[in-house]
Amino acid sequence: MTTVSYTPDPKKKPQLTEEQERKLAELKDEDIDYSDIPELDDDFWKNAQPVMPDLTQPVTLRVKQSVLQYFQANGKKGYQSRMNAVLESYVKAQQKMEQEQSS
């Protein structure tokens, strides 16, 4: 089984028309069609394994002023998460390259 991770971008919310929003608001729970979603039976839960989140750890880090300004330019809120995402993608690329070299 493949695990797919997706984090929606709150800045890119899907745009609904006023008509779509009205219809969605009026929709009752019992009118939602779940027929294309399989039931989670005992077999699913027997094989399910919890996935622990990769927690962050506070650190003190010195970075060049220009680097900090770049990440803060898109808004001070979330700049550390953006920096972490760049570092994480670098680590994953390095790990993949190391794995390919050892094969």
Give the chain's domain count: 1
More confident: 80 or 6: 80
Q: Confirm whether 9 is domain-assigned.
A: no
| CA-to-CA dists, residue 66 to 7, 23, 69, angstroms | 28, 48, 5
Q: Confirm whether 30 is domain-assigned.
A: yes
Residue 1: the pLDDT is: 66
pLDDT mean across residues, the chain: 87
Q: Confirm whether 37 is domain-assigned.
A: yes
Q: By residue range, what is the domain housing residue 76?
A: 18-50+59-102
Asked if pLDDT for residue 2 goes beyond 90, the answer is no
**45: which 2 tokens?**
């839960």
Q: Enumerate residues 6+ apart whose C-beta is below 8 A from 80.
A: 71
Residue 73: the pLDDT is: 92
Q: Confirm whether 73 is domain-assigned.
A: yes
Q: Confirm whether 12 is domain-assigned.
A: no
Q: Confirm whether 6 is domain-assigned.
A: no
Residue 55: the pLDDT is: 84
pLDDT tens for each residue of 3-35:
777 777 777 777 888 999 999 999 999 998 888
Residue 64: the pLDDT is: 96
Give the span between the Cα atoms of 54 and 17, in whole angstroms.
Answer: 37
Residue 60: the pLDDT is: 93
